[in-house]
Amino acid sequence: MSEINPYRAPESHVADVAVTRDDSGFIARGRAVDAGHGWEWIARGFGLFKRQPAMWIGILVVLVVIFFLMALVPLLGPLATMLLSPVFGAGIIIGCKALDEGGALEFSHLFAGFKRNTGNLIVTGLLYMAALFITAIPVMAIVGMTFLKVLTGMGGDPATMVGQSLGTFVIGWLLWMALLVPVLMAYWFAPTLVALHDVAPVEAMKTSFFACLKNIIPFLLYGVILLVLSVLAAIPFGLGFLILGPVIVASIYTAYRDIFFEG
């Protein structure tokens, strides 16, 4: 009969368990986070990129080629690009989720949105396109009226008209940028909410808008940092976007996890 050593450390067999994200803590309306989280979204996004940089870059290059080829088709190409952007985007977000849970980002994730809530993702793209068109109407009206005066000579002195036209163009561009911000806020998390939580397109865009509004300060920091990084990425012939592009996409996922889940 063997003796038991009372001083021996206890032994137990522990199976390897994959990291999983508990979606039961989903906050339907999102939560407000501290300003510094704007930087953390980018840092965490870069962390996801570092796990499989070659795959990230490959997916980005293929997506750019797909969009370029679609853009070559007159009329239907740009329309298809707008409608399918949420589908491709949702697929990459699904890949981010798999990577975040200890799995792997696969090339097939680029097309995962075509297998999950595809119809609602296309509707999301349609709503986004409609919103962009609506924001462009007042800008086109302001700029168009000014150029009409220039063409018809109704503005008086040509030099004065040219100066007024340039000023109107700048004002119109600033107006469009101001109108574009709420549209981007409504779209930012919408494909993710549709794909991962089966939220209806209109509700997803409303939820995304108010979630961004709650976190306007961290998003301002996030935007400023990305602006600086974009300038740096553009310096070496734009090659820096091979890294920054995937990081931005991954940061959308990390921001979603931060805002729509506790902890």
DSSP per residue over 66-97, as a string? HHHHHHTSTTHHHHHHHHHHHHHHHHHHHHHH
pLDDT over 90, % of the chain: 68
* pLDDT of amino acid 204: 97
Confidence of residue 221 (pLDDT cuts 50, 70, 90): very high
Q: Which tokens belong to 213?
A: 């509004």
Confidence of residue 7 (pLDDT cuts 50, 70, 90): very low
* pLDDT of amino acid 156: 54
Q: Which of 70-84, 94-108, 221-235 has the lowest mean pLDDT?
A: 70-84
pLDDT exceeds cutoff 60 at 213 = yes
- Average pLDDT score, the chain: 86
Residues 98/102/107/109 CA torsion (nearest 10 deg): 0
pLDDT exceeds cutoff 60 at 263 = yes
pLDDT exceeds cutoff 70 at 142 = yes
Reported pTM: 0.83
pLDDT exceeds cutoff 70 at 154 = no
pLDDT exceeds cutoff 80 at 12 = no
Q: What is the mean pLDDT of residues 210-219?
A: 97
pLDDT exceeds cutoff 60 at 67 = yes
- Compare 24 and 254 and report the one with higher pLDDT: 254
Confidence of residue 131 (pLDDT cuts 50, 70, 90): very high
Number of other residues whose CB lies within 10 A of the CB of residue 80: 16
pLDDT exceeds cutoff 60 at 167 = yes
